[in-house]
Amino acid sequence: MPPHDETTPVGPQGPPRRPPAGRGGGRGRTPARSGGARPGGSRPSGSRPAGSRPAGGGPGGPKRTPQQRRRRRLRIALATLAGLFVLFGVFVGVVYATTEVPDPDSVQSAQTSVVYYADGTTEMARLGDTNRTNVPLTEVSEGARNAVLAAENRNFYSDPGISFTGIVRAAWNNVTGGSTQGGSTITQQYVKNAFLTSEQTFSRKFQELFLAVKLDNQYSKDEILENYLNTIYFGRGAYGIEAAANTYFGVSAAELTPQQGAVLAVLVRSPSNYDPEGNAEGAQDRWGLVLDAMVDEGWMTQDERDASVYPPVLPRPEASALGIPTGPEGLVVPQALAELEGRGYTDEQIRAGGLRITTTVDKAAQDAAVAAVGDVLTDDQPDNLRTALVSVDPRTGGVRAYYGGPVGAGDGAIDYAQSRRQPGSSMKPYVLATALDQGISVNARRDGSSPQEFPDRPGLPVRNSGGVSCGACTLIEAMTRSLNTTYYGLAYEVGPTNVRDTALAATGMPETWPAVTGGSLDGSPTLADPETGQTGASIGIGQYEMRPIDQAVGFATFASGGVHRDATFISRVTDTSGAVLLENAENAGEQVLSADVANDVTYALEGVADYSRRSLDDGREVASKTGTQGIDADDNSDAWMVGYTPSVSTAVWMGSDGYQPIRNADNRIIYGAGLPGAIWQEFMDTTLAGTPEEDLPNSPRIRGDTGQGVAAPTTAAPTTQSQPTPQPTTAAPAPTTQAPEPTTQAPEPTTPSPTEQVPAPAPVEGDAPTVDPNVGLGGQNGTGGGTGDGAGAGDPNGAQAPPTQAQPTG
């Protein structure tokens, strides 16, 4: 076979083909070899005619140049963009046509924040309805109007109602995580404040854009400015410029000077940050910038600017002007709002953001607290008596009921639930918890004879109420009978600072008192002497101040097996649309005491209510402790009843403004189990009615005694005596700072020996003035040297320091 070129066809050849005119430069193309003969010169299926060009400049044809490809891609992109633009234009037109500008009258409802009870439907308070007065623009001074324009939107009368640069800047900040300052026009601000939420998101900005444009088309600039000035929140509960003028300067909006108007203009951006009472330097700096802007716009001459002086501002108004109820529930609202502020919410968001705030406070429990106080503190009781009740859910930390006094806002409003008062013997459970942690069981015996002197207070003996002595009572017996000498000595033994640590962990109290009252305790260490900062053994019988809410939380820690949960007033927060902004998840808490310690403290407290004649209905099990703080041998200043079940912990305090003697309608001394106990008992019975009964511990878990115990008595001896027999002064062992190793020693018998039987309950309050009716044999004349807050008349922490020989009595 003759050789041939691979591209030469082997089949018969027809006449040569000519390419169509104008293609290939007149040159013919040789078809590619198909690998087989084509009869009659036919082409294989799918082959292209000679001289044709593959689509897209494929192999065998001319390729597009890069310039051609770029032009083609550009045409496609432009066509796509044009299509999208048309679609967007249609979308914008439809949205604009369907967007309705809300009636300005709806603004007030949109801005009002509402506080609810725990059910989320029953209103407790409405913030924003109170301090608001709408005025026409003609009744706002020109100087004040110009000041607001200078601060917020100098081109207001010439702009289209929106600021594209502000929208782009806000969008960029959302992407980059920068400042959320929007730089919006007054029209946009009005739309945001009046009809939208304050969140900085793309969707909200998009809504703002359409509403602002349509608003600008439907209303005149004067109408928009008027509505804006009547809507804006200026702080201190003032909505609108008329209320602000009255709140800050005591004048009407028509009387505002340019300088006063500039003060208010500064507040528009951030009322809480630029209130001159809280940030005088920052407020005055921005005030000067506003005046400079007014000069730039020709709204003030330079001479007027140079002569301007920052105007005096009125002090903050009473809470009654801020929409807070004047009844007892009004004291709940500030606690809830303070909690929100602690979570980062601003005053403007809280009061003018249309929030829906659901608290943990149960309406039925709150009503039960108010009713219990009213039923016990009847009109015939002395006028100087004050009381507080705080009830906490140990499982969540949620405050279920909160009574701090009858006046919630305005004149006479004092929150006694936050008052700092000496707890007396209601402090003893923390001493027991510390001893238990050191291996000292509730059945360990200690010297409870009275009187006794201790090394840390020579010449100042500690006594039990009524002259009672018990030379070898178990700690559980001494708790039930509230023997001061036993628990003073026990605090000295285990270490007063250790008792303090236990109490702080259980209650969540801070290391130092916050500076909130202006009293002498502000800034001083908690549970310590405010002058020396030291904690002595008198902590064991309640010398150092606590608040009712602290005791409710501390006893809740025992109820929850040693798990501490901070008290909370907020359950959830939503906006006006129902979107959840904040929700308290299940509070796991922190294990601050061992479960065994909490078990045994509860076990030791189970007999107190019955012994104090404050048992709950149907024999419901409850752990409790009374407490009484004495002024002297004849009078008391404070009385407590604190107790819990696994589902509710309630503290009740009773006292007076300052440290006046507290006596009942029959002029008898008030003890913890008296009027406070009656309030506690009625509240607990009411709020627990119909709920399942809950078991408390049946036995202690910690056995033995690693401390300085005493032997059980072997001979009969009376447990009471009309006159106390002086006991020899013996030095108690030095305090320890470390917990000893646990012991496996078997526990002491839980039943008192025949010679140490617990006496029958003492007569009810007043029937036996020498015996503390709340525990029968509690401690009178115990601490010596009680300290008070000295905060001044009307202060819940006391008008004067208590006498230097203040004594806990039970």
| 52-111 pLDDT per residue, tens | 555 445 555 567 788 888 888 888 888 888 887 777 666 656 555 555 565 656 555 567
What percent of the chain clears pLDDT 90, i.e. is strictly above it? 54
**CA 363 – CA 116 distance, rounded (Å):** 9
| pLDDT at residue 132 is higher than 50 | yes
Cα-Cα-Cα-Cα dihedral sign, residues 698, 704, 708, 712: positive
Cα-Cα-Cα-Cα dihedral sign, residues 416, 422, 424, 427: positive
Q: What is the rounded radius of gyration, in angstroms, for the C-alpha atoms of the chain?
A: 40
Q: How deeply is 800 buried, as exposed, middle or buried, from its count of CB atoms within 10 A (0-12, 13-18, 19+)?
A: middle
Q: Which amino acid makes up residue 475?
A: L
Across 10-24, 150-164, 379-393, least confident range: 10-24
Q: Known catalytic residues?
A: 152, 425
Selection from 39-53, 363-377, 462-476, 789-803 with the highest mean pLDDT: 363-377
- Best CA proximity match to 353, nearest among 204, 135, 524, 161: 204
Which pLDDT belongs to residue 797?
37
3 state DSSP class of 133:
coil
Res. 532 pLDDT band, cuts 50 70 90: very high
Taking the model in full, what pTM does it have? 0.73
**CA 330 – CA 701 distance, rounded (Å):** 44
- Best CA proximity match to 431, nearest among 651, 605, 561, 556: 605
As beta bridge partners, residue 339 has none
Comparing 449 with 750, which gets the higher pLDDT? 449
Tens of pLDDT, residues 580-605: 999 987 788 999 999 999 999 999 99
How crowded is residue 39: how many other Cβ atoms within 10 Å of its Cβ? Answer: 7
**CA 213 – CA 162 distance, rounded (Å):** 7
How crowded is residue 560: how many other Cβ atoms within 10 Å of its Cβ? Answer: 25
Tens of pLDDT, residues 232-250: 889 888 889 999 999 999 9
Q: Provide the 8-state DSSP code for 522.
A: T
3 state DSSP class of 666:
coil
**CA 333 – CA 325 distance, rounded (Å):** 8
| pLDDT at residue 347 is higher than 80 | yes
Which pLDDT belongs to residue 204?
54
Which pLDDT belongs to residue 769?
28
Are the C-beta atoms of residues 100 and 195 closer than 8 Å to each other? no
For the segment 502-507, the average pLDDT, to the nearest whole number, is 98
Comparing 260 with 231, which gets the higher pLDDT? 260
**CA 557 – CA 623 distance, rounded (Å):** 12
Which pLDDT belongs to residue 762?
32
Are the C-beta atoms of residues 703 and 747 closer than 8 Å to each other? yes
**CA 201 – CA 187 distance, rounded (Å):** 18
Comparing 273 with 64, which gets the higher pLDDT? 273
Q: Which residues of 132-169 are buried (b: 16+ CB within 10 A; e: fewer)?
A: bbbbebeebbebbbbbbbbbbbbebeebebbbeebbeb
Which pLDDT belongs to residue 438?
97
Tens of pLDDT, residues 382-411: 999 999 999 999 999 999 999 999 999 888
Paired tokens of 310 = 């920052």
Comparing 707 with 423, which gets the higher pLDDT? 423
Are the C-beta atoms of residues 391 and 362 closer than 8 Å to each other? no
- Best CA proximity match to 558, nearest among 610, 607, 511, 503: 503
How crowded is residue 741: how many other Cβ atoms within 10 Å of its Cβ? Answer: 8
Paired tokens of 89 = 């234009």
Q: Which residue has the tokens 């299926």?
A: 45
Q: Which helix (H) or strand (E) holds 189?
A: helix 186-195
Which pLDDT belongs to residue 782?
36
Mean pLDDT of the chain, nearest integer:
79
For the segment 486-515, the average pLDDT, to the nearest whole number, is 96
Res. 163 pLDDT band, cuts 50 70 90: low
Q: Which amino acid makes up residue 1?
A: M
What percent of the chain clears pLDDT 70, i.e. is strictly above it? 72
3 state DSSP class of 580:
strand
**CA 280 – CA 287 distance, rounded (Å):** 10
